[in-house]
Amino acid sequence: MQQKKIAGMFHFGFFFFLSVIFILSCSKSTNVKNDEDIQEGPVAKGCPDTDYPDWKSSPYVLPYPVGEAYKVKLSNCSGSYHSAGMPDEFAIDFVMDIGTLITASRPGLVVYIQESGYDGSHPNNLVIVDHGDGTFAEYMHLTHNGALVKKGDYVEKGDDIGLSGSTGLAGYPHLHFVVAKDSWQWMYTSTPVTFSNTISNTRSLASETTYIAFPY
């Protein structure tokens, strides 16, 4: 009798342990973060009168591999082509050497590629990914023949997209990342995005700040 009781307690404990593991694994599959996991970043000015999506549950991750870190030069409404009211008001420029690996910020279908330009000249090389909800991620200023995908490819978050460069109106080597809504064609309308796998960015990324890509 005592042996049956012990066996029953063992089975109960074993199944309880499996249940806890299952719950924990499910919680890790989301982007929602606990307060103790948050590493504070600077609060960007962002664009005025703009409601930014919650960064902790954002479907977007930084457009480069986990463990890498790059500095933001221009961010939202920070001047030049990123000024308020411009098509690129919500764009972000990541300073990157030519040939730096760029990865998918969000899953989607590759709908357009341009890679014939040479660094320092036109055209502006880019890859455009359709997220299927009326938004399009645009990865710009890629180097010559820098696309690592083909039109019609479906990319998952973190998949290789291309190699950064300095084509088009780049001025210096960097990745120009922008999400357009309704249409990806110029003059598009950009939309604000935040990123779930880095330090806090309640009003998107701040200029002159380096952001490391955490695991997701």
The closest alpha carbon to 119, from 86, 167, 159, belongs to: 167
**Chain segment 93-147, per-residue pLDDT in tens:** 999 999 999 999 999 999 999 999 999 999 999 999 999 999 999 999 999 999 9
Is 174 annotated in the active site? Answer: yes
Coil/strand/helix, residue 143: strand
Q: For residue 61, is pLDDT > 50?
A: yes
Sign of CA dihedral 158, 161, 164, 168: negative
What are the two backbone dihedrals, phi and then psi, of residue 6, each rounded to the nearest 5 degrees? -65, -40
The per-residue pLDDT for 38 is 86
For residues 22 and 53, which has the higher predicted lDDT (pLDDT)? Answer: 53
Domain boundaries, the chain: 1-30, 42-212
Sign of CA dihedral 177, 137, 182, 57: negative
Whole-prediction pTM value?
0.85
Q: Which fold has domain 42-212?
A: Glucose Permease (Domain IIA) (2.70.70)
Catalytic residue among 11, 122, 141, 174: 174
The closest alpha carbon to 54, from 203, 216, 213, 206, belongs to: 203
Q: By the 8 A CB rule, do 95 and 63 touch?
A: no
The per-residue pLDDT for 36 is 63
Could you identify the residue written with the tokens 């919680």?
A: 27
**Chain segment 7-47, per-residue pLDDT in tens:** 444 444 544 444 444 434 444 444 556 666 789 999 999 99
